[in-house]
Amino acid sequence: MKKTTTRLADGRELIYYDSRDDAVRDTPDPRPLDGGTSRSRLHHDPLLDEWVVIASHRQSRTYHPPADECPLCPSREGRHSEIPAADYDVVVFENRFPSLAGGPDDDRPPAAGPATVVPEFVTRPGAGRCEVVCFTADHDLSFADLGPDQARLVLDAWTDRTAELARLPGVEQVFCFENRGREIGVTLGHPHGQIYAYPFTTPRTEQMLASVAAHRQRTGRNLFDDVLTRERDTGTRVVLSGDHWTAFVPHAARWPYEVHLYPHRRVPDLTELDDAARAEFPGIYLELLRRFDRLFGDDAGPTPYISAWHQSPRTPQARPEYALHLELFTIRRASGRLKFLAGSESGMGVFINDVPPETAASKLREVATRVR
């Protein structure tokens, strides 16, 4: 992999990841862009002990542009996009409309009031970083259409960005993810994902770490290891497995079709995967995505999904216990029917799933032999 770092016209960083060592990336960004004013804030919820990001500038972000005006396609004569080059393999760049931006020493005041209004109502600058990952230059492909070598290049880019962003001052957790499909809320059709570098540990991760600590205290064992072992031994919810990875529908799946993908050797994040796990990942992951697209038949169209890498926060006490894993799920419960987060889910956080996990796993195994 060759990595080339450059800057866009407004100073944002852009990185090319190329499979060829002789790739030359020296095309400048000719657009007349200014530096922008991305000012987000973090509001602390004292009842839940969680941070909420307030990012009003994102109201003006690009929304469903025509394919010939896609900002993630390569630039061409007469139309310059976010990527100056006429072609690319994988590209990562700072989001033009970031939810989080700036470092911990950023002393800009929030839009209203001092940093702390009263002890219970705390506000901080929305420090952190948000990046866009373009998986391919071809606008009409999806991740499932990539070949193993291209998928491996994306994995290498995720890994490199995880290492780089984790070293930024104030960053506590790095989150690589893909939202796919209009039903999910995607506003750009080009195959791409995102990376968030949070200045705090996310609530979902905090919950996992608390459960892991309690399990360690009760049993002396690691909870992630025990879950993976139990799923592999039981087998009823295993979707597919290899020498280094296992994909299964979790016992308490929240979404109609939800799969968790774990490496067999527990590691805290992408940077610590060994060569064997990296080599096997593209085949396993591509097959999972292709099975998701076969679930509802050709007439249903591409399956909308969220694919999320769960990685350890930077805290030294978390890394030895946390297990890197990927969670892939769709909000589609049947052809033409979506799972909406209604009163119980949105109001109380209690999920109600119409598809039994064992049924979902069985169907995901069944579509392995179906031709797209």
CB 203 within 8 A of CB 50: yes
Q: Please calculate the CA angle 43-46-48 and round it to the nearest 5 degrees.
A: 100
Q: Which of 44, 57, 80, 192 is catalytic?
A: 192
CB 165 within 8 A of CB 314: no
Query: Using CA atoms, how far apart are residues 27 and 156, in angstroms rounded to an integer?
Result: 23
Was 73 annotated as part of a binding site? Answer: yes
Q: Which is nearest to 203 in space by CA: 179, 175, 168, 184?
A: 175
Query: Using CA atoms, how far apart are residues 97 and 60, in angstroms rounded to an integer?
Result: 8
Q: How far is CA 335 from CA 257, 294, 359, in A?
A: 13, 11, 16
Instruction: Read off the amino acid at residue 7.
Output: R
Query: Using CA atoms, how far apart are residues 105 and 125, in angstroms rounded to an integer?
Result: 9
Was 130 annotated as part of a binding site? Answer: no
Place of tokens 């780089």: 164
Six-digit token pair at 144?
């499932």
Q: Which is nearest to 144 in space by CA: 348, 290, 282?
A: 290
Was 139 annotated as part of a binding site? Answer: yes
Does residue 192 carry a catalytic annotation? yes
Q: How far is CA 96 from CA 12, 100, 185, 302, in A?
A: 8, 11, 18, 27
Query: Using CA atoms, how far apart are residues 303 and 313, in angstroms rounded to an integer?
Result: 30
CB 321 within 8 A of CB 201: no
Q: Which is nearest to 154 in space by CA: 91, 107, 109?
A: 91
- Cα torsion 285, 288, 292, 298 to 10°: value is 90
Query: Using CA atoms, how far apart are residues 271 and 156, in angstroms rounded to an integer?
Result: 9
Residue numbering of the annotated binding site? 70, 73, 139, 190
Residue numbering of the annotated binding site for Zn(2+)? 70, 73, 139, 190
Which residues are part of the catalytic machinery? 192
